[in-house]
Amino acid sequence: MSGATKSASPSCQLLQRQSEVFKRDVANQPLWAVAPPQDAWLMAQAQGVISADHAVLRAFQAQNKVAQSPFAHVSIPSDAHVVLFWPKAHALGIWWLKWLCEHLPPGASIDVVGEHQGGIKRVPKVLAELGISSDKIDSARRCSLFATQTQPLEQKSDAAWLTFEALGLTLCSHPGVFGHGKFDEGTALLLEALEHKLPKKTQRILDVGCGDGIITAWLAQRGHEVTAMDISEFALEATRKTLEANQLAGRVLASDVYQALGDERFDLIISNPPFHQERDIHYGAAARLISSAPNHLNRGGQLILVANAFLPYPERLTLAFDHFEVMAENRRFKVYGAGSR
């Protein structure tokens, strides 16, 4: 693994450092990255990527690299040098390990890399609990790198799926999905406000950032035509399973905010948008959700979103819309409704 491109990710910086000191001969092994960050050096080195992040998949595809979702047909070369980037969600990391053991032959080499603040130091214990041995290769940039091998496991990766009940709906959730396994308080406030404000006639509605599909299913149950979108393949698969579990219909699309929609328009756009990127507050997706919403609303349409009360969304709503209102609020959250121009 070599190249002049500088890595921005600490985990990739550790790998780049290893490109000079690996004792194993990887010269003839194509690098395959599993659940990686977006990183220019990594994209230059890797032949393929497996990720549940639609933005990462698109970035690799733009470089003419093989990019695969774990929920689609996956084909990893038998001689691949596989590197798993340990996620901050512990349960999701375990899922990826089990998934790799199912999709690679027994004894296949895997490197696991990650940041200390993301829990990578727990990996040897996690592997030991699965009955898998590991060796530490390196530690630098507040990251660590471990080597291990796949083996058949008794418990399959599908065991990570969780089913629970909320608002008379059966919800399916997976590690890595927003609010995994619980009914989010902000979403509850949003749906309570919609119960009183939603028109009775069928609406064409867009659910941006669909998560486990509760908003989509709740709307579909009331007869509306719903399109659910998310950047996470885990969320999209959870929404599909939620709709199926409740015998409801809806369109489910992978999209970075409005990227996949073209010039489609809707009567309502509804969202509980994320504002974290890893551990930092990040308004990128929410800002695009608000600023471009008028381009995807029919005449008289509305954007309705729920957000933590401290977030500066009123200023953004004022710039994008003629008017907005606070439809509901409690100590932690506010539900905003904004009218199209």
Rounded to 10 degrees, the C-alpha dihedral 192/194/196/198 comes to -160
Residue 6 banded pLDDT, cuts 50, 70, 90: low
Chain-wide mean pLDDT for the chain? 91
Residue 207 banded pLDDT, cuts 50, 70, 90: very high
Residue 3 has pLDDT above 80, yes or no: no
Residue 269 has pLDDT above 90, yes or no: yes
Residue 277 banded pLDDT, cuts 50, 70, 90: very low
The CATH fold of domain 10-157: Rossmann fold (3.40.50)
What are the extents of the domains in the chain?
10-157, 161-339
The CATH number, out of the four listed (3.40.50.150, 3.90.600.10, 3.10.20.310, 1.10.8.620), of the domain defined by the range 161-339: 3.40.50.150
Query: Mind spelling out the 3-state secondary structure of the chain?
Result: CCCCCCCCCHHHHHHHHHCCCCCCCCCCCCEEEECCCCCHHHHHHCCEEECCEHHHHHHHHHCCCEEECCCCCCCCCCCCEEEEECCCCHHHHHHHHHHHHHHCCCCCEEEEEEEHHHCHHHHHHHHHHCCCCEEEEEEECCEEEEEEECCCCCCCHHHHCEEEEECCEEEEECCCCCCCCCCCHHHHHHHHHHHHHCCCCCCEEEEECCCCCHHHHHHHHCCCEEEEEECEHHHHHHHHHHHHHCCCCCEEEECCCCCCCCCCCEEEEEECCCCEECCEECCHHHHHHHHCHHHHEEEEEEEEEEEECCCCHHHHHHHHCCEEEEEEECCCEEEEEEECC
Based on the number of CB atoms within 10 Å of its own CB, is 338 exposed (0-12), middle (13-18) or buried (19 or more)?
buried
Residue 158 has pLDDT above 80, yes or no: yes
pTM for the structure as a whole = 0.91
pLDDT at 259: 94
pLDDT at 312: 86
- Span 103-132, mean pLDDT? 95
pLDDT at 201: 92
pLDDT at 25: 45
Tokens describing residue 157 = 């990766």
Task: Give the best-scoring range by mean pLDDT among 74-78, 179-183, 194-198, 227-231.
Answer: 227-231
* Beta bridge partners of residue 228, listed in sequence order: 207, 252
pLDDT at 322: 85
Tokens describing residue 140 = 């630098």
pLDDT greater at residue 301 or residue 279: 301
**pLDDT tens digits, 10-54:** 999 999 887 654 444 455 688 999 999 999 999 999 999 999 999
- Span 148-159, mean pLDDT? 95
pLDDT at 281: 44
Same fold? 10-157, 161-339: yes
Convert 287-305 to b/e letters by CB count within 10 Å (16 or more is b). bbbbebbbebbeeebbbbb
pLDDT at 29: 80
Percent of the chain topping pLDDT 70: 92
Percent of the chain topping pLDDT 90: 82
Residue 293 has pLDDT above 70, yes or no: yes
pLDDT at 7: 63
The span from the CA of 137 to the CA of 235, in Å, is 33
Residue 250 has pLDDT above 50, yes or no: yes
pLDDT at 284: 73
**pLDDT tens digits, 60-92:** 999 999 999 999 989 899 889 999 999 999 999
- Span 289-295, mean pLDDT? 95
